[in-house]
Amino acid sequence: MSKLVLFNKPFHVLSQFTDEAGRNTLADFINLKGVYPAGRLDYDSEGLMLLTDSGQLQSLISHPKHKLVKTYWAQVEGTVEPHHCKYLKMGVDLKDGPAKAISCRPMQPPQLWDRVPPIRQRKTVPDSWIELSIAEGRNRQVRRMTAAVDLPTLRLVRAEIGQLSVESIALGQTRVLEGKSATDIYTRYLKG
């Protein structure tokens, strides 16, 4: 049996089990033995992370050739307009090459847990939310993409990976799914 762990990662938690600098890590939240992250989520990002006990499943989730879609909700500085999504779907140039969204839309603020510390509110600068889906995961990619269209990211939440959503998992909590094999889990829960 293979195991897939869904974890709702809080802000300022490292996507690893140890840290010499004493920062919060996965070990502060996850008590399961033998599971490892399948991909990363930045220290200052929140939301869905996947861990597994299967090297094959880890590769299916995180290897770029499988193009697993990940959806993010970003609170940005400025007002999201339709032209921002148009540019993000056409593609923007980043220092490490072009990047484009599979889908993009302005959205109402989602019902989320409180972030600690909260986002700094500025009276003179509006903020808004955007939903963005990508099929790759370069370092800080969503933040760099929104910045490329003049919408700096204030808060970033990974909402979905494949068919799995963070919405049913409380902050700092896990949910475990099991299947006969890595391929079974991948087909049933991620590729749909």
Which residues participate in catalysis according to the annotation?
42
CB proximity list for 85: less than 8 A, separation 6 or greater: 101, 104, 105, 106, 130
Q: Measured between alpha carbons, how far is 68 from 9 in angstroms, rounded to an integer? A: 19
CB within 8 A of 65, min separation 6: which ones?
A: none
Q: What Å distances lie between residue 104 and 68, 85, 87, 99, 119, CA to CA?
A: 16, 5, 10, 13, 23
| Token code pair at residue 7 | 């974890």
